[in-house]
């Protein structure tokens, strides 16, 4: 299962994620907050996301590929 929290900076994504995971067993979930992509990831940035999805585990993304597709090119972190 993948759950994505999307929103503007300081919208409360991190606080909401923290509130949810405090009630979960850590061996059954992973919180993923991807930073600036590596040189390899700049070219294939979408491929970073599926790598974190595991069978029988909840993957919680703090932001998604959608914001990365908008934010990273505007900030100059990736090329077209």
The contacts of residue 22 (CB under 8 Å, 6+ apart) are none
pLDDT, residue 66, reads: 66
Pick from 34, 29, 18: nearest CA to 66: 34
Domain coordinates in residue numbering, the chain:
2-75
CA distance 69 to 74: 9
Nearest to 31 by CA among 57, 67, 62: 62
Q: What's the pLDDT at 30?
A: 95
SS3 33: coil
In tens, the pLDDT along 12-71 reads 999 999 999 999 999 999 999 887 777 877 777 778 788 888 889 999 999 876 666 677
């Amino acid at each position: 299962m993948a759950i994505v929290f999307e929103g503007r900076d300081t919208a409360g994504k991190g606080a909401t994620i923290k509130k949810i995971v405090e009630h979960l067993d850590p061996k059954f979930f992973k919180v993923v907050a991807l930073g600036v992509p590596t040189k390899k990831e700049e070219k294939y940035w979408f491929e970073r996301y599926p790598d974190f999805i595991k069978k029988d585990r909840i993957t919680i993304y703090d932001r998604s590929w959608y914001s990365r597709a908008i934010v990273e090119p505007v900030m100059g972190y990736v090329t077209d």
